[in-house]
Structure formats: C-alpha cells, structure tokens
Structure 1
Amino acid sequence: MRLLHNDALGRLVLTDFRGETIPPYAILSHRWSDSEILIEDISNRTYKEKEEGYRKLQFCAERAAQDELQYFWIDTCCIDRWNLRERSKAINSMFQWYKNATRCYVFLSDVSVSTAIEPVQRSDWEALFRASAWFTRGWTLQELIAPVLVEFFSREGYPIGNKASLDHLLHDITNIPLAALRNCPLDQFTTSERERWAKSRGTTEVEDVVYCLLGILGVSMPTAYGEGKESARRRLQAEVEAAANAPSIIPFSQNPRFVGRESQLAELEAKLFSNEQTTTMLAIVGPGGTGKTQLALEVVHRTRQNNKSCSIFWMDASDKDSLYQSYAVVAQKLNIPGWDDDQADMKQLAKRCVVEISARQCLLILDNTEETTLRSGGSSTTEAADLADFLPQSKLCSVIFTTTSSDTAQALASQNIIALRELTLDAALRMLQVRLTKLLANTKQQEVEHLLKELSYLPLAVIQAAACIKASGITVQEYRSRLDDHKELAIEHSDDSSEDRLQDSGVRDPVAATLSLSINQISNNNKLAAGYLCIAACVDRKDISLDLLEATSQAREDAIRVLDKYALINRRPAESALDLHRLVHQALRKRLQVQGRLVQWTQRTIIQLLKVFPDNDHGNRSKWRRLLPHAQYALLHSLADDNNKERMRLASKCATTLFSDGRYKEAEELQVQVMQTRKRVLTNDHPSTLTSMDNLASTYRKQGRWKEAEELLVQVMQTMKRQGRWKEAEELQVQVMQTMRRVLSDEHPNTLTIMANLAGTYRKQGRWKEALTLMERCFQLREQVLGEQHPDTQSSLNTLSDWRAECELIHSETTL
C-alpha cells in the first residue's frame, strides 16, 4: 500500500509500505472528475497542473496535518493504474483499506457552504447534502460503511459533520440501517439486505455495480470488465455461495447461450480425473474462432456445480508473463506466502502455487496454450519457461489446455484430445437464433442457411455477423446481400497451417469478410472507431492501452462502445485497455495491407507510441512494461528506414527500458539497429552515435562479453579524446575500470589497458599527480602478472619514464 506525505522540504512524495507495518493514515472519499491526479503526476511533480484534482489533494493533506496524521491515501494517485496485478489487488482490498483508515474525509464537490464559521448551520447545507451525487455512486457505499470515523466536508473544505453525528440523516438518505452506519459487523445482515443498499446506486462501468459489493459481502473475485452486469452478478452469487466451498478463480460467468458442442462437452466431463496415477491432461484443439474457450468455460461451470470440493483455477498461458500473472492471482486466493510482495520471484511463487494445488482436488484451465515452451510477450529472444514446470503432478488434479496447435495438443495431452471444427448447420442456426430472436422470426429458413454456409459455420464469424445485424438494424437478407460485396477482401491468412484450416464450405476467410462489412458500417457512423481499429492492427493484440487512442474522453468512449457493439473488441475498462481476437487482428492487418495503408498506419502508431512511452525512470516501470510489447510489435513490423527518426527514437527508448529490466539480448538487438543507423545518418563521431555505442557496450558487459565491450569503448574514448572531450572520456574510463576491477580483478590485462588509458587522459588534462600514480600502479601490476620482459610491461615502464621527465621539465619551466 502506498501512502502520500510531505517530505522535509515540503514536497509531496509517495512511500510504499509493502511488507512493512502501515502507519496511521487518512483516506479520501470523492467523486472522480476529468482532472484527477495520477501516480505519474506525483512522480513527475506535475500534480499542481491539474487544478481540480490538486484542490482535493491539498484539502486532504491539510486536513490530515490538522488531525496529526503524517500520511494520507487518495485512490487516483496511490494506485499504479499501469500495474495490472496491483490494480486487481487494489479492487479486492479497497474495503479493508477504508476500514483500516484512522479517518475518512468525504469531499462533497457539489455541496457548497458560503461561510467558514464553525459549526456550519445545518440549514445552510442540508438540502444540497441530501441531493449530493456522492450518495448515488456505487463505490462510495463501502466508503461510507467501512471506516469507523467518516467526516463530511463541503467543496470549500468546511466541516459539515461525521457519520456518528449525522447518522439519522444518513439513514434517511440511504435507507442503510443505523446499526450498519454505527459499524455493527456486516455479517449481522443478510446478503440480500447488503445487496439492497447498492440497488439505487450507479457506476460509470456497469460491472462496478456488482464489484463495489465485494468487500461489503466479504468475498473476492477477479474483475472482468466487459462481461456485463448480469454476468458479473452471476459470478458474485457463485462466489457468495462458494465461500464455504473450495476456493476457485473463474474470471468469466457461464454463457447462457452456449450451444453446439454438447457431444464434446460430454466427452470432456467423462475424462476428467480419470487418471489414477497422475494428473489427467486434456486438450481442446481447433482453428481460431471455433469456440475452444467457450467449451472449456462450460466444463468449468458444470464441474463447479457438480463438485463443490473441487478448486478451479483459470489461467492465461499465452506467454510466460501472463501465466505468472495468473499464478499470482491464485497465490493471493490461497494466501500463499509472497503473494503480496511485488518484488517476489514470480517463478518461485508460481511453483509454490503448484505444490499447494497438487495437494487438493483441482481443475486447471490453461487457455491459449500455443507452445510447451513459454516466452515473455512472445519474444523469441527472451528467457523461456518450460510449461511442464508449472503443472501439478497429482492424481487429484486435471488440466485442460486450449490450443490451435495440433503438435502442442499432442505433446501435452497425448490421446486425450478433443478436436473442434466448424459447427453443424443445426448448431450454427441455434447460435444465431439466440442472438437474433426477433430478427429471425420473419426470415426464411433457406436464407439463414445460406448465410451460415457462407460463414463456414464458424462461431466467431456467426457471432460477429449477428452483432453487425443487430447494431445496424438490418435484416439477415440485407446482411447477406452486403456480405457479397466484401468477399473479395476475405483473403486467406498465409500463416494458417493447412491442417488447421476449416473446410471450404463458404467464403475463403469468413472472419475477414464479416470484419470488412462491419468496418464499412462503422465508418459510415463513427470514423474515429474505424481509425482505432487501424491502430490496434499495428500493435500487439492484447492489452491495448486507451492512451494509444487519441481523442477527448467522451469521443473515445463513444467510439469504443461502437466497436464493442459490433463484437470486434473485448473491453478491459479497469485496465483502460482492450483486446482483439487473434483472427480479427490478422484480418485487420491483411485489410490494411491490401489497401496499401499498413505502412502509413504503422508509422502513425509509432508516432503515437512515442507520445505516451515514458522515460527510463523507475517510477514509470509499470507503464513501460505494458507499452513495451506494443512498441516492439510496431518496430518489428515497420521498415528500418534511415530517414525515419521516430522509429529510431522509439527503438532507442525500448532498448533502454529492456536494459533496465535485465532483458539484455533484446536490448542488444535494438541497440545495434540504433547504432548502425546513427553511424550512417549522423557519422561515427556524432555525440548521439557515441552514446549508442556506449549503451551497447554496457549491454555487452552485462552479458559478460568483455572483449566486444572493450572494443566499442576504446572507439568511443578515442573519438572523445580527438574531440577534446577529456572530462567525458575520463568519466567513461573510470566507470569501465571500476566494472572490470569488480568482475575481472585488478590484474586482468583488460583492466590494466583501461587503467593505462585513464592515466593518459589525466595527463592530457594536466593532472600529473593522478596520471603518474595510476601509470605506476599499472606498471607494477603488469610486472607482477606479465613479467619484467613482457612488451606491455616495458611499454608501461617507458611511458612512465617519459612522463616523469616531461613532468619535471614542466615543473622547472614553471619555477623559472
């Protein structure tokens, strides 16, 4: 937990009390505006620029000081919104944070009191107080109930009263029982009664109406923004019912419209926990868009309904980082030591989870498993993790993998493989029917069957077609007629392996065709939304930050709602991000390529990435880690053009952050590109070129590649000396010599070479005492290690003699 306070110089700073005893603190309850102070504003010391947010912050700081509290907490700037793990923990910890606060200050921005005389007369504020929007918001419910001491203030900062003195008025406004307002334990109230307290409250995101009840109901669960209110409510109900059962993590509710895979579902259920010797491994394999995840999800919910003692954990196995993040959530759920330490070794934490899971009956879902060897963000150059190391080995456990790769399915599950192809006509018809009940009522059966055939009975294409028909308000006949105009854009993806292709029962690529038609409809009504899809096509398909999408907040929200309505994105509002399905992402890129616009949009995306990609400051680590996969993707798929300054700047930024994160091989690849480009464009002697050479040398040293590092640094130092930049050359040589001493020892030939060069730099600066002392040390060590007759020893001796003579001559001339 981070807390704000003022340092000795009166500057506002954040202190992280992770793993330490949290001191007494005040906490702020308020309604958000468009001018809230964020954690990066605190780090960058730009928080005073946001007038409305700063007014609240200043109020909270001054009030806490008056109450003799050194620390205070404000949600907008004490939570790192870029750190997904931290955000998830924060949402589930919020009730406890408010409960543990010494004081809670409620800042009522819509309650104005014209006098500063205390106590403020009730007649001056009661009407505004009763009408305050603070009482209508979902998240403020827990902020009223959880703390022991809640104090209310006007927008001017004048005190109005507290929860104890105003309890009858608060009861009258909210209908919350007086006992609850007086901090009676919440388990004294039924679940349905506590849920009613939020019934008339609203939230910006529809799911938050449910999520704001987590602490009040005493449960925790992963948030899944975009799932909808009813889905969130069903999951919450399941968590409440399962509180006394086996702990589980299922981030998605059961799909009430699940159809078409009944036989495969029965086969999977029959095979669960069938291996009496070790873990039962099963795999669902099929091309993208065939419904693998939906089938796994149905298995999960049926297992939970039929076996209350079985723990179920849903994991994202698309890459190493995602798998670690999934295990971190499991660790929190099972209270495994280290779960609350953001600096914990994620690999070891995951392995501790595996040990705990293996001791209980458990079903694991590893979604999006494409390989048995996982890498960070899909990079082929990063340290890999063997998936086998993160699987339970126990007859009590079953694991279901979803994958598009037949080889991966065979390697992981051997004979227990469920292969999905296109739907049958009947199943596809039912899938369309449940989404378009009214629109199908007057549609000829033959017309619907023709459409489904053209869509290759592919679930993803059927869903997107239904979304487009519904969003556009057109009939099935009209949709099919328009789809004909977009078939030529349905280009088969070249990277789809032949064994994973669907039968040629319709257009060559139904997802590309439905996407093309949807984009055409969207472009007519919201060009901004269509542009967002083009940017999304030029970055990684997962966790696309909304910061990459330029526009006012309302225009951006309107555009995203349109894309969501057409089922082209998956929203992640809690992370201010969105995802694309793999096939949608591929089809978007193909569309731009065919139109000759891919290069143009990739460049626009690189420019936008440069605007939001942070500097290499530790406080920005979470932000750059989330943006880095997108920057790397854009760089990988853009042309290395010497005249593209923006690309080179982004590559340099990425290299610096990769170096900071210890990903030296990836950093090296980009640094080599930057260095070579700068040599061609700026010349070998340009300061920026020398900086890039120095950066690359540092990366070589981190990998123990001393010879390559030395060769580069010698070039840099020689150039600096030629340019008369002795001070910079000296600093570089000192840094290198200290590193070589630490790693290679004082006596290593490479260390002695740098030592001699540094002595020469001192001499050029006229610092004779330092030059002679260092050269004498160099000579002694070479004589000791290499022998008296070695050429390097003799060279050191001759240099030392010459320098002494030169120094004496200068001294005598000065004396005269």
Structure 2
Amino acid sequence: MRLLHLEASGRPVLTNFHGKPIPPYAILSHRWGDSELLFEDLGSEAYKEKKDGVRKLKFCAKQAAEDNLQYFWIDTCCIDKWNNRERSRAINSMFRWYRNATRCYVFLSDVLVPTATDTYQCNEWEASFRASEWFTRGWTLQELIAPVSVEFFTREGWRLGNKASLEQLVHEITGIPLAALRDCPLDQFTTSERMTWANNRQTTEEEDSVYCLLGILDVAMPVSYREGRENALRRLYIEIEATSSAPSIIPFSQNDHFVGRESQLAELEAKLFGDKRTATTLAIIGPGGTGKSQLALELAYRTRQKNKNCLVFWIDANNVDSLDQSYASIAQKLDIPGWADEKVHVKQLVKRRLERERVRQCLLIFDNAEDISRGSSGLSVAREVNLADYLPQSDLCSVVLTATDINTAMRELAPDTAKRMLENYLDIPISASEQQQLEQQQLLQELSYLPLAIIQAAAYINTTGVTLQQYQLLLERQNEHTPGHSSKPSEDKEQERTTKNPVATTLFISIDEIQRSNTLAADYLFLTACVAQKDIPLDLLAANQPGERESAVNIISRYALITRRPADSALDVHRLVHRALREWLQQQKQLGQWTQYAITQLYRVFPDNDHQNRSKWRRLLPHAKHALSYSCAGLDGGDRSNLLWKYAMTLFSDGQYNEAEQLFVQVMETRKRVLGQEHPGTLTSVASLASTYRNQGRWKEAEELDVQVMETRKRVLGEEHPDTLASVANLASTYWNQGRWKEAEELDVQLDVQVMETSKRVLGEEHPDTLTSMANLASTYWNQGRWREAEELDVQVMETRKRVLGEEHPATLTSVANLASTYWNQGRWKEAEELDVQVMETRKRVLGEEHPDTLTSMNNLAFTLKSQSRDMEAFSLIEACFQLRKQVLGDEHPHTKSSLRALTQWQSSLIMNESNAKKLADTTIRSSA
C-alpha cells in the first residue's frame, strides 16, 4: 500500500509500505473529475497543472494534519493503474483499506454553502447535500460503510458533520439501515439485503454495479469488464454459493452462445478425469478464430458443476506478467500464508500448495500458452519462460493449454454447429421458411464456417439491420473487388486456407459502413492496425471530447472488431483482424500514413524514463516497437526520432542494454544528419551510447566516445558547463572500470570537488545533480581506500535521496548499495548484509529479478555472506547470480566472468579466509552514481 505525505515545500511524496507496518492514515472519498492527479503525475512538476486534483490533495493533507495524521491515501494517485497486477490487487483490497483508515473524508464537489462561516443552519445546505451525486454512485457505497469515521465536507472544505451526527439524514438519502451506518458487523445482514443497498446507484461501467459489492459481501473474484452486468451477477452468485465448495477462479462468464463441440468436450473430460484417465496435460490447438478459449471455458464450467470438490483455476498465459498475476490471484484465493508479501515467489507458493493436495483434484487452464516466450511487460528482449516451472508435479493436477498451431490452416466448424452459432449471435431469429434456411446455408458457406467470420457477420447484421440475403450480396461484391492474398507468409506466420479469407472479407465490409457512419471510429480502427494488437491504451485515441471517444469505440465494438478492456482503459484486436486491417491499409496505400499517425500519438503519451513511469512505459513498449519497426521513406522525421529516443532511454533504464544500443545508434545517426555533429542533442545521444557500452563491459568503445564527447563539449559549451563536467565524470568512470586507477583519480578528485561545489551553489544542496556529484566524490574516496570520508558522504547522499526521491527510487537504492560496499571494506559485514538484503529485495520488486542492478545486488550480498564464512549460502547465491548474468548479459560480459571466477574458486574450496577473498579480481561492486 502506498501513502502520501507533503514535504515542507508542499511537494506530495509517495511512500511504499510493502512489507512494513502501515501507519495511521486518512483516506479520501470523492467522485472523479476530468482533472485528477494520477500516479505518474507525481514524478514531475506536471502535477501542478491538475487543478481539481491538487485542490483535493491539499484539502486531504490539511484535514489529515489537523487530525494529527502524517499520511493520507487518494485512489487516483496512490495506485499505479498501468501496473495490472497492482491494480488487480488494489481492487480486491479496497474495502479493507477504507475499513482500516483512521479517518475518511468525503469531498462533496457539488455541495456548496451560501456563507463562509463555521456554523450553518441545516436548511442552508441540506437540499444540496441530499442532491449530491456522491450518494448515487456505486463505488461510494463501500466508502460510506467500511470506515468507522466518515466526515462530510463541502467543495470549499467546510465540515458538515460525520456519519454519526448525520446518520438519520444519510439513512433517509440512502435507505441503508442505521445499524449498518453504526458499524454493525455486515454478516448480521443477509446477502440480499446488502445487495439492495446498491439499488439505484450508477456506475460508469455496467459491471461495476456488481463489483462494488464485493467487499460488502466479503467475496473475492476476478473482474472481467467485458462480461456485462448479468454475467458478472451470475458469477457473483456462484462465488457466494461456492463458500462450501472448492475455491476456483474463472474470470469469464459461461458463454450462453456456446454450441457444439460435444465430442471434443467428452474426449477432454475422459482423458483428464475419466475412470481410464490417460493424461494430466492436454493442449487445445488450433488457428486463431476457431474458439479454443471458448472450448476451454466450457470445460472449466462443466468440471466445476460436475465436481464441486475440484479446484478450477483459469490462468492468462499471454505473457510473463499475466502469468504471475494469475498465480498471485490463486494464492490470494487459497489464502496461502505470505501471499501478500512482495518478497516471496508467489509461483513457488502456489506450486507447493497444489502439490500438497492429497484429496482434491485440480484443473489448471493456461490460455494463450504459446505467447509466454514473447517477453514480460512488453519488453523488447523476450524473456524465455519454461512453462514447466509453473506446473505442479501432482497426479491430481490436470492441465489444459490453449495454443495456436501456426502451421495449421484455419479450420471451419461442422455445418450444424456453425448454423447454431449464427442463430445464437443474431438478434432476430431466423425463420423456419425454406427461403431463409437456404440463405443461412449459403451465407455460412461464404463464411467458410469460420467462427470469427460468423461473429463479425452477425454483428454487422445486428448493427445495420440488413437481411441475410443483403449481407450475402455484400460478401459477393467484396470478394469481387478484393485481390487475392499474397502467397508470402503473413506477419504472424499463420497461413490461410485459401486465397479467400472470410475474416478479412467481413472486416472490409464493416470498414465501409463504419467510414460512412463515423469517421472517428474508422480512424481508431486504422490506428489499432499500426500498434501491437493487445492492450491498446485508450490514451492513444485522441478526441476533442471524452464522449466522442467513447461513442467511436462503442461503434467498432458493436461490429465485433475489438474487445473492450475497461479495467485497463484499453482494448484488444484479434490477431486475424489486426492482420487484415494492415492488408487493407496496404491496398489503400495508407499504411505509412497511419503508422506515422500512430507514432505521433505514441510520442504524445510515452513517458520519460523516470522510475515512477516504469509500469506505463512497459505497457507502451510493445506498441512503440511495433510502430517503429515499420520502415518507409518519409518516416524518419521528428516524432519518430523523438519516440526512438524515449524508447531507448526506457530500455536502458530497464537494463536492456543490447536493445538500447541499437536504438541509440539510430538516434545518433539521425541527429548527426539533421542537427549536426556538435549539436548538444547529438552529443547527448553519443554520451548515452557510451553509457550503454559501459554497462555492456565494452570499456574501450565507451572510452573512445567519452573522449569525443568531452572534448567537443569543452569546445562548444565551455569547461564549466554541467554537461561538460558530466562527460568528464563519465570518462573517469570508464577509466576506473578498466582498472586505470591513476588516470581515473586524476580526473576524479579535482572534478568531483569542482562539480560538487558548483552544483551546490547553482542548483542547491538537494538537487539530484548535486547529490550525484557528492556520490561520485564518495566513490573516488572509496577507490582510494578513504573509507570514513566515503561513508560520511554516502550516508548524507542516501538520507537526502530517501527524503527527496523516495526510498524505492533506483538512485536511492544505488546510494544504499554504495554505503553497504563502504561498510564491507571496513569489515562491518553485518551492517553491510542488512543493507545488501534490503537493496536486493527492493530491486527485485521495483526493477525485476533479472535487471542487471538486481544481479549486482545478488553479487554483493554473496561476497558479504562469504566474508562471514557463510560459505554454502554465499555459493548458492553466486551460482544463481552467474546463471542469470550469463542469460541476461552474456558469457563475455565482465560481470559474468567475475561471477564465474568467484564460483570456480568457491567451488574448489568452500572454506576461504578473508585475505584470500579480497584477492579476487572483483569483489563487491561499487555502482555508478
């Protein structure tokens, strides 16, 4: 849980209390407006522009201070909504967070008072209070009931009373029993009674009218915003009834339109659960659009209905993050001790728990299992994942995988099944007349009995009101004007059954109609073709008014061309639709134009590489990669180059140095050509490329660029310019990494003192650049063995960074790690160990387990343990560090070789005294400031 507090300067600061005792805090209840402060806004001065959000934040901070509370919580800016796992966990924790708050302040933005006095007559504000929309919203229901202390304030911040003093009035407005308002245990009320409290309350998304009851009903279930209110309600009832049966997670409602496939279902059930059980792991394989996930979903529901004692868990295997999020949900559902601890490996917790099951069967369904090797969080470098690492080794655990067979042609449904599917998806029933039955048969033949094409055709017919015969004529005309598809492999390597692609044909028909009815909807559709197909943020869809965007998105949703993801403020496009859209744009010679537009929109929303934006940039990376991968003359301009720069910087921050290098070279060459070789922007790109070489252990190449940048900046900017001094520091760092101590020291001592004093005078003692210069001087003292002087500066930098940047900022963690290395060199190993563990665990959580900085922490902790003669612990850790460095950095990286040397020496002799340990070429690593 994150909490806010204000510094003396009035700047809001977030503190993460993961794994720590949570202090008393106040919490805000409010209705969202158009100018709310968001999590990513707090990392820069941009937050000041959000006037409504700033007003609420200041109000909450002021009230908390008056109640002697340092910390407070506001949903808009305390949850990183770009982080899917965090957002999911927050939704399930919300009721508890409100319940545990010391004070809850209700900010009624639509309640005004006629006078600015402390005392009001009831009739002066009661009418406005009764009419407040706060009482009509779904999510504010739990915010009224959960906290013990609820206080109501007007827009101006005047206190009207609290839940106790206004209970009769609140009871009359809401109909909630007085006992519930007086914090009577909610299990004293029936389920149906609690559900009536939400009657007549509205939510932006229809499913939220159900989800807002989860905490009140003490139910935990996954949210699935595309399911609709009725399906969400049905799942809620299942969860309520399931309190006496085995826990399960099926995030989607049973498909009322599901038809056929009975023989396949029977075969799956027999192999997994029958008397002559023949398999524990099965795969449902087929091309996109053939209903693999729907078949697996039907299997999940039938298994649960037939065997109440069977655990059934649906796992999104689309990527590593979604896998981990699914396992975290399972751990929470099973209430495994330690599931909420950020330091534990949830995957291992769940595996061990399921392997210990001796009575109950378990069914795990991994949906989209073929995609998990495509990388975590959209990072450009694929993180290979062995699915076996996620599978429990138990005879009672059955596993079903859905995956696309990219070498298999698109397969059609059986004619009878296709017929029932079309009838289920059409709003108007097909009559039994011979004519309509014939038209239906002809239409299905034209659609090749392919499920996705049938769904799109039905959506068009439902939306426009055309007849089956009219739609068939549209198909015939479209096929006449659509050239045959290329025999070359498609982008996703799926091959088509014939030159006729019914999914593309139905799409092209829908495009024609959408272009006629709503040009903005068509624009959105074309933009989706130029970015990655999944998790497309609505932020990319520009509109003059929010209502325009919502209307346009709803239109393309009605044509079954996208899938809404309201919880993520995003949408998905089926891979076959995505491919066909690109083909259509190529036919119209518009793919380059729309790719350029997508790049412009991406540059508009893509964040800088401040660590607080990490979740946001990780979700945008696959879209940037997709758009930037398109090569076309005329796409070399400003927005593309600027997006490349942002993309490269975020990859660098994520430790993806090889990928960042390729992009930095592109940016550097473009800037040289457009801006000139001595332009500050060009030199910055060269310096960044040099930093990438340093992090790859390519010291000579880094040195060559460092010298070039330093000399040019001296001539162009002057010897005392901050950028010039930074380039000198970079060169010194390169010398130091090559073991050229004397050359490094000659640059360092003079430079660091000069830079530090200049920074203090010009920027101030707490400016990040000043702190960096102090840290650099501390590193120079450290290299010279002047431990006490280094320690004094290390402590000062660490404490200031904690206060200014926050305890989990990467720069703060670097300063903690550097202090630990100073302790290590003084033989203060227990103190060093405490800091090493803290840094390693935090970096795992914030940066990821495979980030190079995390691996440096593992290395340092291993040496600290070795120095305390804890040989087996040290050996185990350095072995893990070596394997990860080999995977992430490569065999030839100096850090990989360092780990290998240590591993070899420790393996040959697990008993090594302190003096021998210090003879190793590399011991603890002092990080760059």
> Same-fold call, TM > 0.5?
yes
- Of residues 684, 691, 696, the one that matches 1:703 is 696
The answer to whether the 8 Å contact 2:271/2:277 transfers is no
Letter in 1 for 2:556: L
Deviation digits for residues 411-431 of structure 1 (CA, Å, limit 9, x no counterpart): xxxxxxxx9931111111111
Deviation digits for residues 606-644 of structure 1 (CA, Å, limit 9, x no counterpart): 111111111121222221111111111111124376842
Cα distance change, pair 498–622 in 1 and its aligned pair in 2 (3 A): closer
Are 1:352 and 2:349 counterparts? Answer: yes
Are 1:536 and 2:559 counterparts? Answer: no
Cα distance change, pair 271–380 in 1 and its aligned pair in 2 (3 A): farther
Give the Cα separation in 1 of the matches to 2:22 and 2:489.
53
Are 1:626 and 2:600 counterparts? Answer: no
Q: Describe how 1:107-146 pairs up with structure 2 within 5 A.
A: 107-146=107-146
1:292 paired residue number? 292
Q: Describe how 1:26-105 pairs up with structure 2 within 5 A.
A: 26-105=26-105
Are 1:431 and 2:428 counterparts? Answer: no
**366-375 or 610-619, which deviates more:** 366-375
2:896 paired residue number? none
Cα distance change, pair 268–474 in 1 and its aligned pair in 2 (3 A): same
**TM-score computed with the length of structure 2 as normaliser:** 0.75
Q: Describe how 1:589-608 pairs up with structure 2 within 5 A.
A: 589-608=582-601
Aligned-pair CA distance for 1:286: 1.0
Cα distance change, pair 485–379 in 1 and its aligned pair in 2 (3 A): farther
**385-394 or 718-727, which deviates more:** 718-727
Q: Describe how 1:36-435 pairs up with structure 2 within 5 A.
A: 36-273=36-273, 280-336=280-336, 339-340=339-340, 344=343, 348-360=345-357, 361-370=361-370, 373-376=373-376, 381-405=381-405, 421-435=411-425
**684-693 or 295-304, which deviates more:** 684-693
1:486 paired residue number? 478
- Of residues 462, 465, 470, the one that matches 1:470 is 462
Describe the SS at the equivalent of 1:13: strand
**436-445 or 298-307, which deviates more:** 436-445
How many residue pairs match? The answer is 747
Cα distance change, pair 264–73 in 1 and its aligned pair in 2 (3 A): same
The answer to whether the 8 Å contact 2:271/2:279 transfers is no
Deviation digits for residues 473-519 of structure 1 (CA, Å, limit 9, x no counterpart): 22111111122232243754743599975655xx7111111111111
Aligned-pair CA distance for 1:113: 2.1
Are 1:637 and 2:634 counterparts? Answer: no
Cα distance change, pair 498–219 in 1 and its aligned pair in 2 (3 A): closer
Letter in 2 for 1:644: G
Letter in 2 for 1:356: R
Structure 1, unpaired ranges of 5+: 410-418, 766-773, 779-816
* Greater length-normalized contact order (CA 8 Å, ≥ 6 residues apart): 1
Q: Describe how 1:392-791 pairs up with structure 2 within 5 A.
A: 392-405=392-405, 421-441=411-431, 444-487=436-479, 488-489=481-482, 492=485, 494-495=488-489, 503-504=497-498, 508-551=500-543, 552-639=545-632, 643-720=636-713, 723=716, 725-727=718-720, 728=723, 731-738=726-733, 741=736, 743-744=737-738, 748=739
Cα distance change, pair 378–453 in 1 and its aligned pair in 2 (3 A): farther
1:771 paired residue number? none
Describe the SS at the equivalent of 1:198: coil
The answer to whether the 8 Å contact 1:274/1:280 transfers is no
Give the Cα separation in 2 of the matches to 1:710 and 1:215.
59
Give the Cα separation in 2 of the matches to 1:245 and 1:619.
42
Describe the SS at the equivalent of 2:382: coil
The answer to whether the 8 Å contact 1:489/1:516 transfers is no
Deviation digits for residues 353-376 of structure 1 (CA, Å, limit 9, x no counterpart): 323233333211111122684533
Give the Cα separation in 1 of the matches to 2:180 and 2:717.
76
Give the Cα separation in 1 of the matches to 2:717 and 2:546.
52
**TM-score computed with the length of structure 1 as normaliser:** 0.85
The answer to whether the 8 Å contact 1:320/1:384 transfers is no
Cα distance change, pair 707–383 in 1 and its aligned pair in 2 (3 A): farther
Aligned-pair CA distance for 1:712: 2.9
Give the Cα separation in 1 of the matches to 2:728 and 2:335.
50
The answer to whether the 8 Å contact 1:273/1:396 transfers is no
Describe the SS at the equivalent of 1:297: helix
Deviation digits for residues 734-785 of structure 1 (CA, Å, limit 9, x no counterpart): 33434653x55xxx3x5566667889999xx9xxxxxxxx9xx99xxxxxxx
Give the Cα separation in 2 of the matches to 1:11 and 1:758.
34
Cα distance change, pair 406–351 in 1 and its aligned pair in 2 (3 A): farther
Aligned-pair CA distance for 1:446: 0.8
**350-359 or 612-621, which deviates more:** 350-359
Structure 2, unpaired ranges of 5+: 756-779, 785-929
Aligned-pair CA distance for 1:261: 1.4
Letter in 2 for 1:425: P
Cα distance change, pair 212–637 in 1 and its aligned pair in 2 (3 A): same
Give the Cα separation in 1 of the matches to 2:492 and 2:73.
56
Give the Cα separation in 1 of the matches to 2:635 and 2:417.
54
Aligned-pair CA distance for 1:187: 1.1
Aligned-pair CA distance for 1:298: 0.5
Letter in 1 for 2:411: R
Describe the SS at the equivalent of 1:385: coil
Cα distance change, pair 715–129 in 1 and its aligned pair in 2 (3 A): closer
Cα distance change, pair 381–156 in 1 and its aligned pair in 2 (3 A): closer
Aligned-pair CA distance for 1:34: 1.7
Aligned-pair CA distance for 1:229: 0.6
2:924 paired residue number? none
**672-681 or 722-731, which deviates more:** 722-731
Give the Cα separation in 2 of the matches to 1:717 and 1:130.
68
Describe the SS at the equivalent of 1:532: helix
Give the Cα separation in 1 of the matches to 2:634 and 2:336.
50
2:812 paired residue number? none
- Kindly, what percent of the aligned residue pairs are identical? 59
Letter in 1 for 2:518: N
The answer to whether the 8 Å contact 2:270/2:277 transfers is no
The answer to whether the 8 Å contact 1:734/1:758 transfers is yes
Q: How large is the Cα RMSD of the aligned pairs?
A: 3.0
Letter in 2 for 1:732: S
Give the Cα separation in 1 of the matches to 2:458 and 2:445.
14
The answer to whether the 8 Å contact 2:315/2:327 transfers is yes
Describe the SS at the equivalent of 1:370: helix
Aligned-pair CA distance for 1:98: 0.9
Aligned-pair CA distance for 1:312: 2.0
Letter in 2 for 1:70: Q
Q: Which has the larger radius of gyration?
A: 1
**481-490 or 145-154, which deviates more:** 481-490
The answer to whether the 8 Å contact 2:693/2:701 transfers is yes
1:791 paired residue number? none
Describe the SS at the equivalent of 1:214: coil
Give the Cα separation in 2 of the matches to 1:194 and 1:372.
41
Deviation digits for residues 577-606 of structure 1 (CA, Å, limit 9, x no counterpart): 111111111111111111100001001111
Letter in 2 for 1:148: V
**570-579 or 348-357, which deviates more:** 348-357
Give the Cα separation in 2 of the matches to 1:623 and 1:569.
22
